[in-house]
Chains A and B, each alone.
Chain A
Amino acid sequence: MKNKGKKILAVFLGLAMLSTVFVVPGGYFVKNVDAATGDAESGDSDFEKYLKYDKFKKDDRRSKYRKYKKAKDKYGFDSSADKFAAKLCYYKIKEMKKIGVPSAVRKLDSCYEDYKDYKNYKKKYRRPYKKYKKYKKYNKEEYDQDGRYDRYDEPSYEAAYKRYRRTQGNNQATLGGGSLGPSISVGLHAMIDEQIEDDSFRIRAFDPDNDDNPDNDDALPFDIKDRNGDLVASVAEGEQARVKYISNNEFVLYHFDGTTEHNSTTTVSRQINFEPQSADEDDIWFEIYHSSYGSSYDKFRDKVRLNYYDPSGSGNDRTWIINILPLEHYVWGMGEITGTGDMDYNRTMTISYRTYGYWKMKYSTAYAAHGFKVNATPGNQIYRGYVWETTYDRIRLAAEDTRGKIVIYDGRIAITPYSSWTDGRTRSFEDRWGSTNYPWCQSVSDPWGEHPTKSTRQLVSDGNHMVGLSAHGALDRADAGWSYTRILEYYYDGIDIYTAY
């Protein structure tokens, strides 16, 4: 019985080994089983694989970032002064080693502990983990998959991920937005504290059908919200809102019914938003007034915001009037041109304005503390809003023809500098300003944009940097029958025109 048992055991072990040999090496059989549950080597579409690989990638980067943080916390220095001191010690002890000071003596040196700390910092943190610092945005709970998606770290998933990404537009135009594009915030005008303390800022809303100097009776109702988006007040039909600055970042609201200004105790801190009550923002524009705002271009689509800018200790406090609107509406109100000339010239320019706006929305931080992305003044792009849009309606037509189109280069949003005139040749960005980051701005011949009388020096002192597109050159070429695509591709090397929305 004992022998029989041994035989049976031997047969069993033999069969088990055979199973291992035939089933495991291929891995094929095992994976097919998984395929039934849709886990690996499955019939997943590229999109499904993209989602899985994306989860793996984010989880992986999150975990790498955490390794970086852990190593930094353990081996990093509290201050740069500490690090600097340790670094000096490190090189001192290294030098001692080099000249042959015995180990026992080196260990007695007051620098030895710092030397060890710096050595650890280099070996256990800087070399292996510092590179993962760039994954800081992945350090969020939402990306934590606890390694569950690690099995998708394989070529077929990675390839599907890339394929799917390519179909989605291989570029950085990722701001989304509806058919009119993502929202851009435009700084219109700044008021110092005294100006808005003494004289109220006034605002009322109208329907686009009432664009010929409507009076108060035509005014539409609108909402006033604070910086958290909470409703503070609603302005009734036929009325306007008034705002004064009190102190300590606080504003007080009034309402004016056409004859009387009604005092209010409603105060709002730092930011006030004026928004349409109707969901359809296309159907409203705001008229703004303040005695310090001397412009007759006082009508703006969609939303208006007051934002208090308070740089600590600088004495430069300002209240900014900001227009928030879809990128397309912004382009419709561009005050850089009047819409004259061939339509392809206007199409060229609207693509250029849109690209600049898009770039600003993604990368501009110059006015971040002020609460907007782009300034309405010539320093950025002249924006004059609804009055300009309705006066020079060919700009809107050109913008509609090119809706959503921006210039990209190798997937990057290609900022598009332009000048009015050149001296017969444009300049490369690198030659003019010393950066190789903008390879699409190369020097090209521009006989069509050459100023008839001014010298290069005069042109430059007039603000013609001559980098990128030449406006007069583009105008001439459009008259000669060039399409906007051809014009842009001539002045910006290697670019693509991409429809971002």
Chain B
Amino acid sequence: MKRFFIVIVILATVSVAAYYVWQGREEFLFQGEESYEVNEEFDEEENGLDNLDDEEEEYKLKTEEEKKEEEERKLDDLDEEEMSLILASDCDNECEDWEDDKEEFEICQEICGLRDDSDDSNDDCDDLEDIEADICYRRKAIDEKDFSICKKIDDDSLRKNCENRVTEEILDDQN
């Protein structure tokens, strides 16, 4: 029974402490806001900023914010592209990272030119489905040096590689 009371006393103390922490937090937050408002008023008086300046400032900040967001989005895209696509480095180890996934392995081998291509010729890629169609479009785009065919490819790695390969074919052909 005695222990039970001790537990209750401890719990009560904790609760009271929690209450003060909670209150203290709110005070702290309000204090921050107040000082911010005071600073703003002071700045406006001191510098005599009119509404137009405010709008310009806001516009600038917005543009900067948008720029920053755009940069971050691009960074994410680059990051994702780096990790999600089969790149030249995958060819260096003959696609061994993809050996446990039949379809990905096939895509990697196709990209790296390691795939037996004896019976895959087909003039009409539209008759095919999925990876067969993608591979067909990629080959056709490279043969015809035509970027627009790459756009029909569904798989990200094959499509990006298609665009890079067409670029290579075009540039190599010029010299």
Residues of A bordering B, CB below 8 Å? 8, 11-12, 15-16, 18-19, 22-23, 25-26, 28-29, 61, 69, 80-81, 83-84, 133-140, 162, 165-166, 170-172, 174, 311-313, 360-366, 368-369, 373, 375, 378-380, 410-412, 415, 417, 419, 433-435, 437-438, 463, 465
Contact = CB atoms under 8 A, between A and B. Distances in A.
A364 B75 contact: no
User: By DSSP majority rule, is chain B's interface helix, strand, loop, or mixed?
Assistant: helix
A37 B80 CA distance: 31
Given A138-B83, A365-B165, A437-B163, A411 B74 contact: yes
B88 A361 contact: yes
Interface stretch (B33-41, B45-53, B110-118): B110-118
B61 interface: no
Contact of A26 (B22, B145, B146, B175): B22
A417 B12 CA distance: 76
Interface residues of B, number: 64
A83 B18 CA distance: 62
Of B12, B156, B168, most A-chain CB atoms within 10 Å: B168
Contacts of B56: none
Contacts of B167: 415, 435, 437-438
A34 to B, nearest CB: 15
Contact of A19 (B14, B111, B145, B155): B14
A172 B76 CA distance: 11
Contacts of B89: 362
Contact of B112 (A69, A162, A363, A368): A368
B121 interface: no
A26 B75 contact: no
Contacts of A172: 78, 81-82
B139 to A, nearest CB: 13
Contacts of B79: 165
B148 A434 contact: yes
A365 B88 contact: yes
Nearest to B112: A368
B113 A369 contact: yes
A170 B71 contact: yes
Given A80-B130, A368-B114, A23 B163 contact: no
B112 A369 contact: yes
B59 interface: no
Contacts of A83: 129-130
Contacts of B166: 435
13 contacts: A11-B8, A18-B19, A28-B21, A29-B22, A80-B128, A363-B161, A364-B88, A365-B91, A365-B111, A365-B164, A366-B168, A379-B175, A435-B147
B104 interface: yes
Contacts of B81: 172
B75 A170 contact: yes
A411 B78 contact: yes
Nearest to A17: B15
A134 B156 contact: yes
B6 interface: no
Contacts of B120: none
Contacts of A412: 78
A166 B8 contact: no
B74 A434 contact: no
A135 B7 CA distance: 52
Given A363-B88, A365-B91, A433-B170, A463 B175 contact: yes
Given A166-B71, A170-B71, A365-B165, A22 B19 contact: yes
A338 B85 CA distance: 38
B174 interface: yes
